Chain A
Amino acid sequence: MKTKKWPFVYVGVITAITYIPILLTVVYSFNESKISSVWGGFSLKWYVELFRDRDIGEALANSLILAVSSCILAVVIGTTGALGMHRKKSRINDGVAYLSMLPIMIPEIILGMVFLSVFSFMGLPFGMVTLVIAHTTFCIPYIYSMVKARLAGMDPALEEAALDLGASPVRVFFDVTLPLILPAILSGCVLAFAMSFDDVVISIFVTGPTVNTLPVKIYTKMKTGVTPEINALATVMLAATIFILFVAHLLGRRKS
């Protein structure tokens, strides 16, 4: 078809606008002045302050521990669940699948509220354990749905061929099924990790007085006032994101 120029212009302009606040954050992270409307010259002092801030370091460590453990739990539960539901279809299974998807279907605030009330009813102490449970519930759907979709698109003859060639069911799983669903598990994991690492709403409800995650820490800092330290933190996180995405992009290109 004949192509036109203005769609490109539109996409370009919108993309540029979405980058304005990000770029400003980066620029101001190097601002000597504490007031963001004034440019006080180039400085790295906020980075120095950031790396000295023990709370932030601790919060980052907590966030990483939380995201990794929720992902691992979610991979086990979500993958086995998807495999089981794929093998045997029943109404009860559909119902449980529906319920397991609910945590990402409903507004996060409801989930936070639900967990807070249940955990206090059960008398569980708020802290890492409650955080991991809560995060696992909303990590499972990402992994479950990805694996389920992959299984649905998989030729059942592949598993049967392996059985036919003499492999035991366990070998079939490790030789055929797992390699085929691994990309789905991984992309589900990436999504789940990002969602857990970024979560504020649910974490605020289920975290205890002694445990802070990075987003919760940022949130309280942002509410209490202006801290240019956040600019520096944002820049570091942005750089990390770009680096990871760029590597993924390059790997993806090499593959294709």
Chain B
Amino acid sequence: MNKKKDNHWMLLAPIYLFTILFVALPILYMFLLSFLSRAQVWGVDFTFTLDNYKKILEPLYLDTFVQSLKLALVSTVLVALIGYPYGFFMARMNDRWKKRMMLLIMIPFWTSGLIRLYGWIIVFRSNGVLDKILQGMGLTEEPLKLLYSYPAVVVGMIYVLLPFMILSVYSSAEKLDDTLVEAARDLGASPFKAFWTVSFKLTLPGLLSGVVLSFIPSMGLFFIADILGGNKIVLVGSVIQEQVTKGRNQPFAAALSAVLMILTSLMIRLYRKITGTAKLENIV
């Protein structure tokens, strides 16, 4: 319609301006930065170099990358294993219970992530609640020293990421038509077979978007490793933060970010290929 055409540029101007100025150009700058070198004292030297990328290949940093990916992978798999049945079962409850469970999930979800992690410190600390319980049951004698350990970090990761998984599985499981499962049963499928061939296949997009929603942030959640892992577990996120704040080596941090970003976009690509999602927004 002509009348609508008149003002659509005015409507688009803010988002164009803002996105180009504060998203597109900064990201371009980051890529550019990753090919520059660090100035002797302060700031950036505008000379082209590949050193930053070579540095990533040094065992110390390569190891960090592998560790981060491993932690992200372990956390994501566990989150999927715990969250999928949760979201699936929740979608099968009646409306009343659905609303109640949603509220119960949302309360921790809306509460500050940091504060929720703080509770786990109380649980895991030496002679903390978990130690007390285990000792009380006679299962352990010495404190387990769980705080600042790998398992504590994994628990923290699961804890922060679980709601994303549950909600994304739930939203696709809720659309699942019960009569499809009944039809499968009617056509001779056992309960497991009906679940596998119909329910699971139809809720797979929810599971996959849950996986993407967990995996991507998990590579950058350095504060979880910081708080629950002490400085024993070093992740890419921590290295980037350190290089920027303490090391003052922006170009190297940019190179690390660039690699992380490429890994992320590969993940999203893969996800879109599997689910055939045409639009990125659908993931969110």
Decide: B129 and A24 in contact? CB cutoff 8 A: yes
Decide: B12 and A10 in contact? CB cutoff 8 A: no
B120 lies within 8 A of chain A by Cβ: yes
A19 lies within 8 A of chain B by Cβ: yes
A163-220 contacts to B (CB < 8 Å): 163, 169, 194, 197-198, 200-201, 204-205, 214-215, 218-219
A88 lies within 8 A of chain B by Cβ: yes
Decide: A7 and B92 in contact? CB cutoff 8 A: yes
Decide: A169 and B4 in contact? CB cutoff 8 A: yes
Please name all residues of chain A whose beta carbon is closer than 8 Å to the beta carbon of B26 when the two chains form the complex. Answer: 114-115, 117-118
Binding site for B on A (CB under 8 A): 1, 7-8, 10-11, 14-15, 18-25, 28, 36-37, 76-78, 80-81, 83-85, 87-88, 93, 96-110, 112-118, 120-121, 133, 136-137, 140-142, 144-145, 148-149, 163, 169, 194, 197-198, 200-201, 204-205, 214-215, 218-219, 222-223, 226, 230-231, 233-234, 237-238, 241-242, 244-246, 249, 253
Please name all residues of chain A whose beta carbon is closer than 8 Å to the beta carbon of B244 when the two chains form the complex. Answer: 113, 116-117, 205
Q: Please, how many residues of chain B have a CB less than 8 angstroms from a CB on the other chain?
A: 93
Decide: B99 and A249 in contact? CB cutoff 8 A: yes
Please name all residues of chain A whose beta carbon is closer than 8 Å to the beta carbon of B162 when the two chains form the complex. Answer: 18
- A sample of 18 inter-chain contacts (CB < 8 A) reads A11-B86, A19-B108, A21-B117, A28-B122, A77-B14, A80-B12, A84-B12, A105-B264, A106-B261, A107-B217, A108-B221, A109-B222, A110-B264, A198-B113, A215-B112, A219-B114, A226-B121, A237-B115
Please name all residues of chain B whose beta carbon is closer than 8 Å to the beta carbon of A11 when the two chains form the complex. Answer: 86, 89-90, 93, 101
Binding site for A on B (CB under 8 A): 3-5, 7-16, 18-20, 22-27, 29-30, 33, 43-44, 82, 85-86, 89-90, 92-93, 99, 101, 103-108, 110-123, 125, 127-129, 132, 159, 162, 178, 181-182, 216-217, 219-223, 226-227, 236-237, 240-241, 244, 250, 253-254, 257, 260-261, 264-265, 268, 280-281, 283-284
Known: A11-B89, A99-B23, A114-B30. A37 touches B125 (CB 8 A): yes
Task: Give the shortest distance, in Å, between B165 (CB) and chain A (any CB).
Answer: 11
Most A CB contacts (10 A, CB to CB) among B5, B26, B104, B265 go to B26
For A227, give the chain B residue with the smallest CB separation.
B118
Decide: A223 and B253 in contact? CB cutoff 8 A: no
Decide: A231 and B113 in contact? CB cutoff 8 A: no
Decide: A100 and B15 in contact? CB cutoff 8 A: yes
Partner of A103, one of B4, B23, B222, B227: B23
Tell me if B's interface is mostly helix, strand, loop or mixed: helix
For B88, give the chain A residue with the smallest CB separation.
A7
Decide: A223 and B217 in contact? CB cutoff 8 A: no
A118 to B254, CA, bound (A): 11
In order of increasing CB-CB distance, the 6 nearest A-B pairs are A21-B119, A107-B220, A81-B15, A84-B11, A109-B220, A84-B12
Decide: B264 and A20 in contact? CB cutoff 8 A: no
Decide: A109 and B240 in contact? CB cutoff 8 A: yes
A52 to B207, CA, bound (A): 46
Most A CB contacts (10 A, CB to CB) among B104, B105, B254 go to B104
Decide: B127 and A18 in contact? CB cutoff 8 A: no
Decide: A21 and B264 in contact? CB cutoff 8 A: no
A87 to B10, CA, bound (A): 12
Task: Give the shortest distance, in Å, between B271 (CB) and chain A (any CB).
Answer: 11
Please name all residues of chain A whose beta carbon is closer than 8 Å to the beta carbon of B265 when the two chains form the complex. Answer: 106
Known: A118-B29, A120-B250, A234-B115. 7 other contacts (CB 8 A): A8-B93, A14-B86, A25-B122, A105-B283, A106-B260, A133-B22, A140-B19
Task: Give the shortest distance, in Å, between A177 (CB) and chain B (any CB).
Answer: 11
A88 to B11, CA, bound (A): 11
Tell me if A's interface is mostly helix, strand, loop or mixed: helix
Decide: A201 and B99 in contact? CB cutoff 8 A: no
Decide: A237 and B182 in contact? CB cutoff 8 A: no
A20 to B159, CA, bound (A): 11
A74 to B222, CA, bound (A): 27
Most B CB contacts (10 A, CB to CB) among A10, A113, A233 go to A113
A14 to B107, CA, bound (A): 15
Decide: A18 and B159 in contact? CB cutoff 8 A: yes
Decide: B23 and A14 in contact? CB cutoff 8 A: no
Task: Give the shortest distance, in Å, between A30 (CB) and chain B (any CB).
Answer: 13
Please name all residues of chain A whose beta carbon is closer than 8 Å to the beta carbon of B44 when the two chains form the complex. Answer: 121
Known: A102-B23, A218-B114. A20 touches B18 (CB 8 A): no
